[in-house]
Structures are given as structure tokens and as C-alpha cells.
Amino acid sequence: MGKIIALVDGSTYSESVCDHAAWVAKGKGWSVDILHVIGRRDESTDPRNLSGNIGLGARTALLHELAELDAQRAKLAQKRGRAILEDAVARVSADGVKAHSKLRMGDLVETLREMETEADLVIVGKRGEAADFATMHLGSNLERAVRSSTKPVLVASRAFQPVKKLLVAFDGGTSALKAVDHIARSELFAGLDIHLLTVGNESTAAKRGIEGAAALLKGAGYEVTSEIVAGEPDKVIADRAEAHDFDLLIMGAYGHSRIRNLFIGSTTTEMIRSCKVPVLLFR
């Protein structure tokens, strides 16, 4: 039996993550592990003391003061975490899916890496708690999670919509092929319409690639249309998704070198940001 890891943090996206998890779990007959990670404290806390002097027994006094503050915050975070998980489990179980809650402390990405070894899919919200600070820029938890995960990741949009039309962004790379292969063998998408889209120049290689992918999907019994469009990948794909009411975008993730991504960002991140639909990413 397969397993889904759904990441919740109590933001508005958590409900949507639960709904997406329930939908996939029902379709596949999988169970769901709902994970909430309480962040470690690598930030300083108020009240700040800028007096710059060290008095008698400064070290122990300071240690007690910091520990006291941290303990209070940790207790609150724990309470809150349990409440979030309880709601999430209730929401997923209401759809008749088996759900377990997991409350962990530490770094989100590290925790996810430990947990995902037994999972088949990771579901995460498009934005989180820190949306005001990190709306999908380098540094947001989402991007870190997606980058470091070795499993397929479903990035949930603000609210769950029943999925009827799939848009597959196909660039001919290994992860895109993996994505197509996964759809072909998956019962989750059975009977849906699929649109294959390659953004770039119409070269023979691109043509051959997309035709091969279409043939594979047709062989699996899907209704497939395909096209090759010139332009900037993120813009074209986002426009398509919007204009034709696609409910889910499927693509391979993070093809380019890390260094390049560092300076000019990546198509994948851009896509997640600009698309209003959920995105299923394959590494």
C-alpha cells in the first residue's frame, strides 16, 4: 500500500493540501501521513537587550532567560501543531481515507528527507505561513522541499478542484519522461483528457519526443492532444493553463544546473508561482 506525505502548517493552504491528499489517496487506495514540522529556532527572539554589558553570572542568567523564552514558544508551537494536525486528520478521514498525524521538530527539509523514504508522493501547499516574507522566492520552504525531495511532489493550489483536464509540460528531459510514464501507468488519471505541451522551437527532436510521449499515453487509453509552442516556457505554460481551464499541471522539475538557478531562478519555481492550478512535479 502506497503512502502520501501531506505537509501542513496551519496556513490557508493546509485545507487544500488535505483535500488533494484525500483525492489522491482515494483514487489510489493509499494512506496519508500528515506531517507538521515545528521549526527550530535559528532566529533571535524579542525582547532584545542591546545594553552590551555582561554582569555577574551573565552566562547562566542568559541561558536561563533564553531557555525560558524558547520553552514558552515551544509549548505554544506544540499545542498549535497538535491542533493543526487534529483538524487535518479529521478533514482527510472524513473522505474515508486512512490518515495518521506526525508532529516533528527540526528543519522541514531534513525531516521530509527522513520521512519520505517510505512515501510515494509528497503534497505541499503553494504558500505557507511565511508567505508575506517568502512568496516563492529563493528561500521559501516550498522550493527547498521540492528541490530536495526525491519523490514526486504535488504542489497544492489555494483550493481543491476536481481534476478533469491535465496539462503536461513536456521538455523531453528524463524527469518529463518519468512524468509521462507515471501518468500512463496510473489509475488516478484514468479517463481524463491530456494535453501535451512543449515550449520551444519546432525541431525534429522536439517533435519526435512529443509524438513518442503522446503515443505512450494513447496506448494507455487517454485522450491526448499535443502541440509545440515557441516562447518563454513559464509564460506560455501559465497562459495555457489559465486559458483552457486545465485543473492540474504536470512537469519535470529543476532540470538546469544549480548555479544557474541561483542567479536567474528556475522555470520550475517560476511555474509554481505563476500557475493558479496545482502542479505535480517529477524529479
Partner 1 sequence: MSPDFLTRMRVDWLGNIRGDLLSGLVVALALIPEAIAFSIIAGVDPKIGLYASFSIAVITAIAGGRPGMISAATAATAVLMVTLVRDHGLEYLLAATVLAGLLQIAAGALKLGRVMRFVSRSVMTGFVNALAILIFLAQLPELIGVPWLTYVMVAGGLAIIYLFPYLTTAIPSPLVCILVLTSLALVFGMDLRTVGDMGELPDTLPMFLIPDIPLTWETLQIILPYSAAVAAVGLLESLMTAQIVDDLTDTKSDKNQECIGQGLANTATGFIGGMAGCAMIGQSMINVKSGGRGRLSCFAAGVFLLILIVVLGDIVSIIPMAALVAIMIMVSIGTFSWSSIKNLRDHPRSSSIVMLATVIVTVYTHNLAIGVLTGVLLSGIFFAGKIAQLFKITSELSDDETTRTYHVHGQLFFASADDFAAAFDFGEVLERVVIDVTRAHIWDISSVAALDMAVLKFRRDGAEVEIKGLNQASETIVDRLAEHDKPGAMERLMGH
Interacting stretch for partner 1, rule CB under 8 A, among 30-38, 41-49, 84-92, 227-235? 41-49
Rounded Cα–Cα distance for residues 241 and 97 (Å): 30
Query: Is 71 a binder of partner 1 (CB under 8 A)?
Result: no
Given candidates 83, 190, 262, 264, which one binds partner 1 under the rule CB under 8 A?
Answer: 262
Q: Are 249 and 237 in contact (CB under 8 A)?
A: yes
Interacting stretch for partner 1, rule CB under 8 A, among 27-35, 81-89, 121-129, 255-263? 255-263
Give Dmax over CA atoms of the chain in angstroms.
Answer: 78
CB of 269 to partner 1, least distance (A): 13
Contacting residues for 263 by C-beta, under 8 A, at least 6 apart: none
Q: Are 206 and 229 in contact (CB under 8 A)?
A: no
Query: Is 44 a binder of partner 1 (CB under 8 A)?
Result: yes
Interacting stretch for partner 1, rule CB under 8 A, among 10-18, 61-69, 151-159, 205-213? 61-69
Query: Is 96 a binder of partner 1 (CB under 8 A)?
Result: no
Q: Are 214 and 170 in contact (CB under 8 A)?
A: no
Q: Which three cell numbers stand for residue 47?
A: 525582547
Q: How many residues in the shown chain lie near partner 1 by CB under 8 A?
A: 34
Residue (of 27, 25, 34) closest to 6 by Cα position: 34
Query: Is 46 a binder of partner 1 (CB under 8 A)?
Result: yes
Interacting stretch for partner 1, rule CB under 8 A, among 7-15, 42-50, 159-167, 211-219? 42-50
3-state secondary structure of 119: coil
For 184, phi then psi, to 5°, come to -60, -35
CB of 173 to partner 1, least distance (A): 19
Query: Is 134 a binder of partner 1 (CB under 8 A)?
Result: no
Query: Is 117 a binder of partner 1 (CB under 8 A)?
Result: no
Q: Which three cell numbers stand for residue 222?
A: 487517454
Which is it for the CA torsion 155, 157, 163, 164, positive or negative?
Answer: negative
Given candidates 139, 219, 221, 231, which one binds partner 1 under the rule CB under 8 A?
Answer: 139
Nearer to partner 1, 64 or 79 (CB): 64
**∠122-158-253 over CA atoms, to 5°?**
40
| Interface contacts to partner 1, rule CB under 8 A | 40-46, 48-60, 62-63, 66-67, 70, 109, 138-139, 144, 147-148, 258-259, 262
